[in-house]
Amino acid sequence: MTENPEHQASYAPSAEFAAAANAGAELAELAAADRLAFWAEQADRLHWEQRWTDVLDWSGAPVARWFVGGRLNVAYNCVDRHVDDGHGEQVAIHWEGEPGDSRDITYAELRDEVSRAANYLTELGLEAGDRVAIYMPMIPEAIVAILASARLGLTHSVVFAGFSPSALRQRVDDASARLVITTDGQWRRGKAAPLKEAVDEALYANGDVPHSVEHVLVVRRTGIEVPWTDGRDLWWHETVANADPHHEPRAFDAEHPLFILYTSGTTGKPKGILHTSGGYLTQAAYTHHYVFDHKPGQDVYWCTADIGWVTGHSYIVYGPLANRATQVVYEGTPNFPDEHRHWQIVEKYGVSIYYTAPTLIRTFMKWGRQIPDAHDLSSLRVLGSVGEPINPEAWRWYRTVIGSGKTPIVDTWWQTETGAIMISPLPGVTAAKPGAAQTPLPGVSAQVVDEEGNPVVLGETEANGYLVLDQPWPSMLRGVWGDDERFRETYWARYADRGWYFAGDGARLDPDGDLWVLGRVDDVMNVSGHRISTAEVESALVGHSGVAEAAVVGATDETTGQGIVAFVILTATTENTGDALVNELKAEVSREISPIARPREIHVVPELPKTRSGKIMRRLLRDVAEGRELGDTSTLVDPSVFEQIRADKA
């Protein structure tokens, strides 16, 4: 408690923490000595029905096969295994509902619930390889639905419950899902918002053109009225709840598809990132164990993500449960009924590991330290950050105010595509630098390189370049669902001759060789840790009859990292009604994509800056949006468009 947080460039773990840590310096040495043997050892932390013959087959690059010939059941590993080992009475989930209801679920209870759901999904005729869409808020049944799918070898596609009906429809269609699992509604700041209704809207969209969905399975959460289609729609409490709680899990190939998760790319169409079973679970469990220093049966772990994102998949469902964690799952928003909610939950359950996003930390800072200071947070011993670069100021506040000036902070860099954490300090090893993800984890290999693939040179000054992953890793994506071309083009074409994965992030190495992630170098925005493509928002805007053209950029935002700023040209017959029109356009984007994609600002402009070849110069628009002097305008067709854009902004 004596450290002065203002004046430290790095924060070494205490001797006490280091002595008891899961990971010591030897972990990196082991991995360096024999990378594949190291990963085999990590895979051995799981239960395999049949052992693999080869650790890695990279002959089909860029599609890897890890733990070739191995067979396992992912859900067995996350649930039954712990019951069989005598931990059935351990709480798996301390669930906290937004209205204040709560539920503790032990591993034995979780096994029964997952088995019931698996039995019922089987009764519905679902078979291994079929796709199931899960469109649910943060309730235990969502985790049960995910695990039941995994248990049966069904490939789940979780769609964030904040997404619009049309976003859901797009994902259901792309994966040809046979079943949608949802709820009647969801609690949001004390109100029950309909969800089943959104599913109906999605499935009847476009004049009810044929789609793949046979059934909609509905959990009753809020008790609100729902539209109902007899024969197609089924209540969870009338079906799953009455099913047999015994179910024999069957082993699947290590490369059996586990899930698809859609994420934004540089076009308007989201990419279905495909993950498989053995390698994914190995790395999710490995990273959760070492990066968070998780001790089963002792720690109380809380990841504040939503299951709709990859963080929820890897660090609420698969990683923690594979490691027999006791974890908090919270349904609602951090300020309901007031801003004390998270710290009350930490106090109530004695949370020891807390993993959240920089945008939320900055929000806590705005609310003021008197709020966390009103609570006993002494149970916390490891803090994590994910989703975007964390600014040093927020890092120090997190450590000082939330971590009583002593907890290690792990700034974890990874992506939907990487499946699990790739670059992060190890809490008992690394002297952490505020703002830096620092070091590839043992077993992971990354580089910062220039356009040609030459490593940036460490010198007196910092070296900037592109972040690449130059060796395959177990939890890597195995493809983009239904679009092999896009998979190769997006990630592997840039450094094709070297066989490297291009992450889409800029990074720099400091003179100590520590890695700092700088953010996306493509047309992808990061708003509150959510990945949103400029193209998607543009396409929602031009979907409005009054808009002829739209250009969207991410502008630096103090709280959300980036904010969405749109520039639109109206059609000749559209009248500019000022705020009324702007609000209508913002609402249109919320409706089309999700409230998370709602632009912070929309400017109606007469012209957009374009190159001679017709490409919108987003870089210049970003300068305008951030109020900077204009950069190079030499390739611009008509530099005077900026006078007009600026005049409008003012």
**420: closest CA among 39, 37, 29, 36?**
39
Q: Which of 65, 196, 531, 618 binds ligand WT7 (CB under 6 A)?
A: 531
199 in Cβ contact with 168 (< 8 Å): yes
One-letter amino acid at 370 equals: Q
Q: Does 416 bind ligand WT7 (CB under 6 A)?
A: yes
Tell me whether residue 416 is annotated as binding: yes
Q: Which residue is nearest to ligand WT7, using beta carbons?
A: 416
Footprint of ligand WT7 on 419-438 (CB under 6 A): 437
Stretch that binds ligand WT7, among 209-217, 274-282, 412-420, 624-632 (CB under 6 A): 412-420
One of 415, 438, 528, 594 touching ligand WT7 (CB under 6 A) = 415
Q: Give residue 150's Cα distance to chain centre.
A: 19
Nearer to ligand WT7, 253 or 388 (CB): 388
Unique residue bearing structure tokens 């996003």: 357
Residue 386 contacts ligand WT7 per CB under 6 A: yes
Residue number, 331 or 388, with CB nearest to ligand WT7: 388
Using alpha carbons, select from 392, 438, 417, 391 the residue that is nearest to residue 560: 391
166 marked ligand binding residue: no
Ranges of beta strands (E only) in 476-600 are 479-480, 501-509, 515-520, 524-527, 530-533, 547-557, 561-570
Region 26-45 residues binding ligand WT7, contact defined as CB under 6 A: none
Using CB under 6 A as the criterion, what x/- string covers residues 213-252 for binding ligand WT7? ----------------------------------------
Q: Is 387 in the site for ligand WT7 (CB under 6 A)?
A: yes
Q: Which of 241, 519, 591, 600 binds ligand WT7 (CB under 6 A)?
A: 519
In eight-state DSSP terms, residue 500 is P
Binds ligand WT7 by CB under 6 A, chosen from 414, 481, 491, 642: 414
3-class DSSP string for 116-168? HHHHHHHHCCCCCCCEEEEECCCCHHHHHHHHHHHHHCCEEEECCCCCCHHHH
Instruction: Return phi, psi of residue 646, to 5°.
Output: -65, -40
φ/ψ bin of 482: left (φ > 0), alpha (ψ from -120 to 50), beta (otherwise):
left
CA 429, CA 449: separation in Å to the nearest integer?
A: 26
Q: Is 129 annotated as a binding residue?
A: no
Residue 583 CA to residue 598 CA, distance in Å, equals 10
Contact 153, 186 (CB under 8 A): no
Count of residues in contact with ligand WT7, rule CB under 6 A: 23
The verdict on whether residue 413 carries a ligand-binding annotation is: yes
Q: Report the C-alpha gap between 170 and 521 in whole angstroms.
A: 26
Tokens of 408: 């290690």
CB 356 within 8 A of CB 387: no
By CB under 6 A, residue 327 contacts ligand WT7 = no
Using CB under 6 A as the binding rule, whether residue 448 contacts ligand WT7 is answered as no
CB 533 to ligand WT7: min, Å: 11
Length of the chain: 650
**Closest to ligand WT7 by CB, 228 or 492:** 492
446 binds ligand WT7 (CB under 6 A): no
One symbol per residue from 284 to 313: x for binding ligand WT7 (CB under 6 A), - otherwise; what is it? --------------------------xx--
* Binding site per annotation, positions for CoA: 188-191, 311, 335, 528
Binding-site residue ranges:
188-191, 311, 335, 387-389, 411-416, 505, 520, 528, 531, 542, 544, 547
Q: Which residues bind ligand WT7 (CB under 6 A)?
A: 263, 310-311, 386-389, 411-416, 437, 503-505, 517, 519-520, 526, 529, 531
